[in-house]
Amino acid sequence: MSGFLPLLALIAVGLACGFARAGLKTWTVASAAALTLASLYSGASWVTLALTWVVFAAIAMVLNYRPLRVQLLSQPMLDVYQRIAPQLSDTERVALEAGTVGWEGELFSGRPRWSKLLKAPAPQLSGEEKAFMDGPVEEVCALINDWEITHERNDLSPQVWDFLKRNRFFGMIIPKEYGGLGFSAHAHSVVLQKLSSISLTVSSTVAVPNSLGPAELLLHYGTDEQKKHYLPRLADGREIPCFGLTNPWAGSDATSIPDYGVVCKRTIDGQEILGISLNFEKRYITLAPVASVIGLAFRLLDPEGLLGDKKDIGISLALVPRNTPGLEVGRRHLPLNIPFQNGPVSGKDMFVPLDHLIGGTQYAGQGWRMLVECLSVGRAISLPSGSTGSVRMAALATGAYARIRKQFGMSIGRFEGIEEALARIGGLTYAVSAVSRMTAAAVDQGEKPAVTSAIAKYHATELGRSIIQDAMDIHGGKTIILGPKNYLGRQWQGSPISITVEGANILTRNMIIFGQGAVRCHPYVLKLMQAASVADPQRRISEFDGVLFKHVGFAVSNACRSFLYGLTHSRIGSAPGDAYTKRYYRKLSRYSAALALVADTSMLLLGGKLKQKERISARLGDVLSYLYIASSMLKRFEDQGRPELDRPFLAWAFHECIYRIQAALDGVLRNFPVRPAAWLLRALVFPIGRLEAMPGDRLGRRVATLLMYPNEARDRLGEFCYLTPTANNPAGQMNSVLASIIEAEPIERKLAKAAKAGTLTAPDAEAQLAEAVQYNVITEVERDLLTRTRAATAEIIAVDDFDTADLVAGRRAESGARANLRSAA
């Protein structure tokens, strides 16, 4: 055994240096020192020692002497790399170059710097933003009748439209100097959350002008004249914007849109004008039916060379007034009974002057980059915030309903099957709201989060659908009957919409999150690609060698870190947090290293074929996503002062994330096409097996219990929901009486006990209450409380019914006309 001591010493030093991410020279010196000591005390034969030293010296010489390293390793590897490196489409290349890298880059590093996350300022509303939430947002929520919007009008009421315009809801992102509100991304997010908790239609209507649209594009790229003209008009609602990107023949592959514009000259009113003749067909355009100014994406062609030598200039963007001759706004689409204004627009030989190009001719051909950068900001807020508002409301309403609704003599929330679903609702709502919060905060810190906006959009909407499904299941018949009393039906109908728009979720998961993240977030992949494309051969090999061996050291370090973390089940290494959360940070450090290791190996062995291995890419994207989501939950927990009552929410959601990370990595390794590499990776990632478990039943019961009674943790989970108990807010009404109904539960038990003993014999509820007071079973005060809470409970469990004639389409139109008259009155 002592003969193996030199080898064991080298392995131990290698693991230690790799775990600590020591440099090549440090590894060389430490290995030499360890080998010297082992040689003195091992008792191995001189032949064995000599052979060990020769091999070690040869490896150290090749790695540390650069000319030899370049000749023997770097140049051959450059030749191989240039053959296997994936070819990028124009769409992918622009997407990779757009946006910034934030916390996701740390997660891809294999050694996240947790101090960077925890030192980031906690998002806070300013005094002005709080006043807006407590004033105009609260007021417009009180005006909203979602049943009237979705069933009678198929539109917002004139009152709501006017209120939104007057109070500049469409100008939240526009700076004050142009008449907008100039709100932070966090404020923008929480406004949308509150609106979506009462109406998805209103939330969508407000989201679009503040997301991917003319205002965002003008702020970043518009000329001074365009900004001065349009931004004040967009801010106060004089102009309603929309943006046309999707063509019937090109959706996800937006750079292939067949819409085009040709640079040409036209004589108008006796004056020759240089402009563009546009031909386009767009659909799914939100706000198009009511828009007064329409943004368009199209391929700009210059066959006569009027702008320069380039004939195919590329994707360009323009702003077109609605009254432009040749522009046709089609009839409305109806997206799953969530009737936000949406429809097609088209144009044939529609001429516009060149000054209609956003940013002027300076930005001609740069439209796709402009869209991707703006989309990364808008997508980080709009859909995650809408989903967050919906699931917050669903969590509060479902917890209250599960406590209030009784079957077999007890609250349905006490049944284990309901507890299980409630636990999912509570834990996943905590996760969704945390990821939405952190992604909006990144925008406020100056990020253009291309990758994390995709993570937030995908997982907020997918988890949101799961939450709404569980909420629907718990409510049963209550929420499958549409009507004014139903506060979940439209949320359920609307969930596929958010999953489909602004990058369909299947595409986002399979191609964008990891496909873009692997290159953008990895510390060396993009640098390797850039080095390999340098024109000068001498400079190319020099740069490639430097990046390559940093990359190799990075990969070796991650292998060591993954193995040692796995071997100790994440019990080693420094970590922030308190005694409760340190283990969580260590687990994330472990799986960060595992992700970096498996991702590197996949890119090395599969090369360009990884683009076609979409399921492997999707699973690696899942790992990155759940690392990000879990990080956002820990950040939220720290920012809120580590509230002990929130621990069940955090613990359930964290264990769920880690279990899904483990399942995703296992899925990659089971299906990895290079089987020997998969076996080696499994030994490094799961050296003692897969030990992560789903959240346990006891933890789930604690989460479910928190949802079913008023408490601070529940209040934090439902923050920014509209809970004022107005006539049109049945969920708010239910939440307002929950405490009283819980207070009445002991009185109900006294009545049940007296009835069972034969003290109370009255046949109906009202008579029984009078009898109970007469026999001193309850007091008059208790009777009054029961009377109120029983009436409230009856209203809560009630559902709507209609005359058949009132459900006929024509009668619905008449009903909408009457609603318009009521608004006018």
Give me the active site residues, please: 502
287: left (phi over 0), alpha (psi -120 to 50) or beta: left
Of how many residues is the chain composed? 825
Region of residue 168 (phi > 0: left; psi between -120 and 50: alpha; otherwise: beta): left
Among 38, 40, 31, smallest CA distance to 61 is for 31
Q: What b-and-e string marks burial along 419-453, b requiring 16 or more CB atoms within 10 Å of the CB?
A: bbbbbbbbbbbbbbbbbbbbbbbbbbeebbbbbbb
Please spell the DSSP secondary structure of 40-68, one letter per residue.
HHS---HHHHHHHHHHHHHHHHHHHSHHH
How far is Cα 208 from Cα 374, in angstroms, rounded to an integer? 12
DSSP three-state, residue 719: coil
Tell me the angle at which helices 185-196 and 416-444 cross, rounded to the nearest 10 degrees.
150
Q: Which of 700, 210, 643, 717 is nearest to 437 (CA)?
A: 717
- Based on DSSP, count helices (H) and strands (E) in the chain, helices before strands: 34, 9
Let me know: does 484 contact 730? Beta carbons within 8 Å. Answer: yes
What residues pair up with 321 in beta bridges, in sequence order? 293
Contacts 24+ apart (CB under 8 A), 468-473: 468/390, 468/391, 468/394, 468/492, 468/495, 470/398, 470/421, 470/422, 470/424, 470/425, 471/394, 471/395, 471/397, 471/398, 471/425, 473/421
Q: CB-based contacts of 401: which residues, under 8 Å, 6+ apart?
A: 474, 475, 478, 734, 796
Query: Contact, 329 vs 350, CB < 8 A?
Result: no
For residues 726 and 141, give the distance between their C-alpha atoms in angstroms, rounded to a whole number.
Answer: 9
Q: Report DSSP letters for 461-489, one per residue.
A: HHHHHHHHHHHHHHHGGGGTS-STT-SSH
Token couple for 48:
């064995």
CA distances (Å), origin 494, targets 11, 147, 383: 56, 14, 12
Residues 6 or more apart whose Cβ sits within 8 Å of residue 37: 9
If DSSP codes are grouped into helix, strand and coil, which group holds residue 283? strand
Q: Using CA atoms, how far apart are residues 416 and 435, in angstroms rounded to an integer?
A: 29
The region, left, alpha or beta by phi > 0 then psi within -120 to 50, assigned to residue 52 is alpha
Determine the Cα–Cα distance for residues 819 and 805; give it in Å rounded to an integer. Answer: 17
Structure tokens at 462: 């997918």
DSSP 8-state class, residue 806: G
